[in-house]
Structure 1
Amino acid sequence: MDERLHQLRTAATHGGLVSAPASLPQGSPGTTSTIAAAGRIRRRGAWRVPRVLKVESAFGRVRLNLSRAVVEHPVVDIELHLGTGSARITVPRDAVVDIEGLKAGWKAPRYRTGRHSRPGGPTIRISGAVGMGRLKIRHARR
């Protein structure tokens, strides 16, 4: 670290500034993220989906729209922990959905496989527990 700091302090050109931090090891940023709230949780638009997404809501509605999201991983794990609220997840049109690890308390999850899916889409694995609410999963229309 001292060597790199010295390189940054004594750099005379822009190239010298760029080369010092470039040699640092790259981590895996954003592989796990947790969203927790007592109320409503909503993600839509162009948001970056982490490799593992943990969603915890005691009473509110959960709306996750992955249709325009940036999905960089071939497999995305969504771990739900819902109390009495409902959840709706919209997945990309070409996604494969796996709900084998999901435990539903009151009502069974509603999901129909996509009609127009193409090979090569991400796999979305949904696990966890849904208490008194209902989970609805659908594929994006376009």
Structure 2
Amino acid sequence: MSEMQMRVSDEDRERTAQQLQQAFTEGRLTHPELEERLENALKAKTYGDLLGLISDLPAEQAPATEVVELASKSGGVKRTGDWAVPRRLRCSSKYGSVELDLSKAVVPHSVVDIELDLTYGSAKIILPEGGAVNVDAFNSDWGHISTSDVPNRQRPGALYVVITGRSKYGALSVRYPRRRWFTH
């Protein structure tokens, strides 16, 4: 079975609907087009169905040349909570670690490129539920790369993070937020 024939979840349908609403807000779709595509998104059964609804829309809203740089020589780089994630992010740290929590961040792009340049530190990237990651172009000389249960294939309407760069002695960990179980 091809990926396009795989069945979608309610969350996949909702992400696609959000992307369609954003396209309407930007003036890329008329109101009748939005209504028709939203109806079809809610009835979609496969990834192919959803991709057909957004394939003529841009995947990114910011120029690919815009790069935000976060750097530290002896401390760490950390972004958590409600922060704006740029389309391209370059993080470097010689002795510290990098922690980027995207789970509660504002991410207006469907694809985010993160370049890591670490010498002695490690990196932890936390994705929102449903997000996917590609770490094929990240190299760790003496550390390990862990993506836990995070898929590496891009999915319609979901955040897709591409991580490149290197770490000489540190590790890279990509995961979803930890679930908290409360007992009453």
Classify the TM-score, shorter chain.
0.7 to 0.9
Q: Which residue of 1 aligns with 2:53?
A: none
CA apart distance, 1:140:
2.2
Which residue, out of 88, 108, 118, partners 1:82? 118
Q: Which residue of 2 aligns with 1:3?
A: none
Deviating beyond 4 angstroms after TM superposition, the runs of 4 or more aligned structure 1 residues are none
**C-alpha separation between the residues in 2 aligned to 1:110 and 1:92?**
16
Structure 2: 5+ residue runs without aligned partners? 1-61, 180-184
CA apart distance, 1:68:
0.3
Question: What SS does the corresponding residue of 2:136 show, helix, strand or coil?
Answer: coil
Report whether the alignment pairs 1:108 with 2:144: yes
Equivalent positions of 1:1-142 (< 5 A) are 31-38=66-73, 39-114=75-150, 119-141=156-178
1:72-121 alpha-carbon deviations (Å, 9 max, x no partner): 11110000000001111101111110001101110221112338xx8521
Question: What SS does the corresponding residue of 1:73 show, helix, strand or coil?
Answer: coil
CA apart distance, 1:141:
4.2
Count matched residues: 113
- State the one-letter code of the partner of 1:131: K
Question: What SS does the corresponding residue of 1:49 show, helix, strand or coil?
Answer: coil
Structure 1: 5+ residue runs without aligned partners? 1-26
**C-alpha separation between the residues in 2 aligned to 1:61 and 1:104?**
14
**C-alpha separation between the residues in 1 aligned to 2:68 and 2:169?**
24
Which structure: greater strand fraction? 1
Which structure: greater helix fraction? 2
The percent identity for this pair of structures is: 38
